[in-house]
């Protein structure tokens, strides 16, 4: 404003002086000369003011305006010397510092934003007026929230557990931890942490962090079920053994041949216990992360013949015949001999166990669709379609009553499945109740 005035005054004075020279009657050359002496310094003063003060100050003012509009790269150029030069250089160094600070703040803001976006934990913040001031994609996905920040918290997140937690955190300032179960769109177990934080405006807000612990809870349940199942499986033969021993001790031992059935029972049940422990150890070994397969090129015909040979005795006792069909020119397969043997052996075991007298078991090797296939086909009792999805679970048996007679452990197919996964392959099954089943091991061709 002052500058404008000074400039205005100097311009007005120059104008008046010029006008005086031309309007006054030319009475004397002295007057003209006097007027010229007035005009020239005033004009010179105006030009000087404009070049040294007004224009530089205008550049500073323009730079300041652009800076406030967000152009942080702006600098005052071409102003040097004097107080205004100092002002320009102070402005420039302030601009450099502010630009660096703003870039730093922006970098840390985008880093925090990036972290929030990529976190698997859900995060959201509720302010005291009940609005969501922040919500990350994980929280939106877990809680099925369509709206973003600024939505009303109670409308966006409709689970009452969160409303109570927010009240507790905001009003009392206590941190809160709660397990929340969601049932739609699918069942989920959440562990939610709520704590007080300061929002950008300085007022206290409630910060929530959500951990999805569904998988963790499921594994916990699997572990609990497994321990319960193992205990039950071990207890059953032990109870039978204890009963038989008691009967023997109570006198059956002294009767002629009276003790034999009980001793046989003890022998059967201890064999069953042994099988169970072997299968459990096998399963633990396969499941342990450290299990490394020792793969080698196996001669498939020899490998399958050996496995069939090992089951000949049991097959004969059950009245079941076994044959091998090699339907591939590819004679070798890359696999772990011991583990692959375990898988084939379990399938042969079942094919005999769940067969009928006079039935057959065909073992077939073939190559199709980039996989080496080993089929074990039987003419046995088959599996009801609704049970097929469960037979690879540990301890699952279709016919619980029959499993006592067959001495089965319910672990055989779980072992097969794990062995195949360790090889990068898988196991398939097709079955018709009353007609038979076909289990197929698919080894990848490498």
Stretch binding ligand ADP (CB under 6 A), from 1-9, 22-30, 309-317, 375-383: 375-383
Write the Ramachandran bin of 404: left for phi over 0, alpha for psi from -120 to 50, otherwise beta.
alpha
Tell which residue, 141, 167, 140, 165, has the closest CA to residue 151: 140
* Residues 425-444: x where in contact with ligand ADP by CB under 6 A, - otherwise, as a string: ------------x-------
Q: Is 269 in the site for ligand ADP (CB under 6 A)?
A: no
Stretch binding ligand ADP (CB under 6 A), from 94-102, 138-146, 149-157, 373-381: 373-381
Stretch binding ligand ADP (CB under 6 A), from 12-20, 254-262, 296-304, 344-352: 344-352
The strand order across the sheet containing 132-135 reads 132-135, 122-126, 204-212, 188-198, 176-182
In 50-186, which residue ranges form alpha helices assigned H by DSSP? 55-68, 82-118, 137-142, 153-156, 160-167
Strand 321-326 with 360-368, pairing: parallel
Stretch binding ligand ADP (CB under 6 A), from 109-117, 162-170, 206-214, 348-356: 348-356
Q: Is 351 in the site for ligand ADP (CB under 6 A)?
A: yes
**DSSP letter assigned to residue 277:** H
The site for ligand ADP, by CB under 6 A, has a size of: 23
Instruction: Provide the minimum distance between the beta carbon of 358 and ligand ADP in the complex, in angstroms, as a whole number.
Output: 16
Cα 99 → chain centroid = 38
Residue 10 or 379: the one with the smaller Cβ distance to ligand ADP is 379
Q: Is 379 in the site for ligand ADP (CB under 6 A)?
A: no
Tell which residue, 314, 440, 335, 432, has the closest CA to residue 377: 440
Residue 259 or 382: the one with the smaller Cβ distance to ligand ADP is 382
What residues are paired with 438 via a beta bridge? 377, 430
What residues are paired with 362 via a beta bridge? 323, 377
Judged by CB under 6 A, the chain residues 391 through 420 that form the site for ligand ADP are 391, 396-399, 403, 408-414
Residue 15 or 360: the one with the smaller Cβ distance to ligand ADP is 360
| First vs last C-alpha separation in the chain | 85
* Residues 3, 32: Cα–Cα separation, whole Å: 31
Mention every residue, 6+ apart, whose C-beta is less than 8 A from residue 433.
Answer: 381, 382, 383, 384, 385
Residue 237 or 382: the one with the smaller Cβ distance to ligand ADP is 382
Residue 133 or 345: the one with the smaller Cβ distance to ligand ADP is 345
Instruction: Among 122, 237, 380, 425, indicate the residue that binds ligand ADP (CB under 6 A).
Output: 380
* Residues 365, 328: Cα–Cα separation, whole Å: 7
Whether the upstream peptide bond of residue 185 has omega within 30° of 0, thus cis, is yes
Instruction: Among 348, 381, 420, 427, indicate the residue that binds ligand ADP (CB under 6 A).
Output: 381
Instruction: Provide the minimum distance between the beta carbon of 235 and ligand ADP in the complex, in angstroms, as a whole number.
Output: 17
Residues forming contacts to ligand ADP in the complex (CB under 6 A) are 346, 350-351, 354, 378, 380-383, 391, 396-399, 403, 408-414, 437
């Amino acid at each position: 404003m002052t500058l404008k005035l000074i400039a205005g005054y100097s311009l007005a004075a120059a104008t008046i002086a010029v006008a005086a020279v031309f309007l006054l009657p030319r009475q004397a050359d002295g007057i003209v000369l006097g007027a010229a002496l007035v005009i020239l310094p005033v004009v010179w003063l105006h030009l000087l003011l404009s070049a040294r003060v007004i224009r530089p100050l205008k550049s500073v003012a323009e730079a300041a305006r652009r800076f406030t509009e967000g152009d942080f790269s702006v600098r005052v150029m071409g102003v040097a010397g004097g107080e205004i030069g100092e002002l320009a250089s102070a402005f420039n160094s302030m601009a450099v510092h502010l630009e660096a600070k703003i870039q730093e703040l922006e970098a840390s803001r985008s880093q925090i934003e990036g972290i929030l976006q990529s976190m698997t934990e859900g995060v959201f913040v509720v302010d005291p007026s009940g609005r969501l001031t922040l919500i990350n994609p994980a929280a939106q996905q877990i809680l099925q929230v369509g709206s973003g920040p600024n939505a009303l918290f109670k409308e966006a997140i409709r689970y009452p557990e969160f409303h109570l937690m927010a009240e507790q955190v905001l009003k009392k300032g206590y941190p809160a931890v709660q397990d929340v179960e969601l049932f739609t769109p699918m069942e989920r177990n959440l562990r939610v942490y709520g704590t007080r934080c300061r929002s950008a405006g300085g007022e206290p807000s409630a910060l929530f962090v959500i951990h999805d612990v569904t998988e963790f809870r499921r594994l916990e349940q699997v572990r609990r079920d497994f321990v319960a199942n193992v205990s039950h499986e071990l207890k059953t033969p032990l109870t039978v053994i204890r009963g038989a021993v008691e009967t023997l001790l109570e006198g059956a031992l002294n009767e002629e041949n009276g003790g034999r059935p009980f001793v046989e029972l003890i022998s059967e049940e201890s064999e069953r216990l042994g099988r169970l422990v072997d299968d459990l150890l096998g399963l633990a070994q396969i499941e342990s992360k450290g299990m490394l397969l020792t793969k080698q090129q196996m001669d498939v015909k020899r490998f399958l013949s050996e496995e069939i040979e090992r089951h000949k005795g049991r097959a004969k006792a059950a009245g079941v015949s076994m044959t091998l069909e090699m339907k591939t020119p590819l004679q070798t397969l890359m696999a772990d001999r011991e583990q692959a043997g375990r898988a084939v052996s379990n399938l042969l075991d079942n094919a005999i166990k769940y067969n009928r007298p006079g039935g057959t078991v065909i073992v077939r090797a073939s190559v199709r669709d980039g996989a080496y296939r080993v089929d074990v086909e039987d003419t046995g009792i088959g599996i009801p379609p609704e049970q097929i999805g469960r037979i690879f679970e540990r301890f699952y048996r279709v016919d619980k009553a029959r499993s006592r007679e067959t001495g089965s452990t319910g672990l055989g197919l779980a072992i097969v499945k794990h062995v195949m996964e360790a090889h990068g392959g898988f196991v398939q099954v097709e079955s018709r109740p009353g007609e038979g089943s076909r289990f197929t091991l698919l080894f990848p061709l490498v």
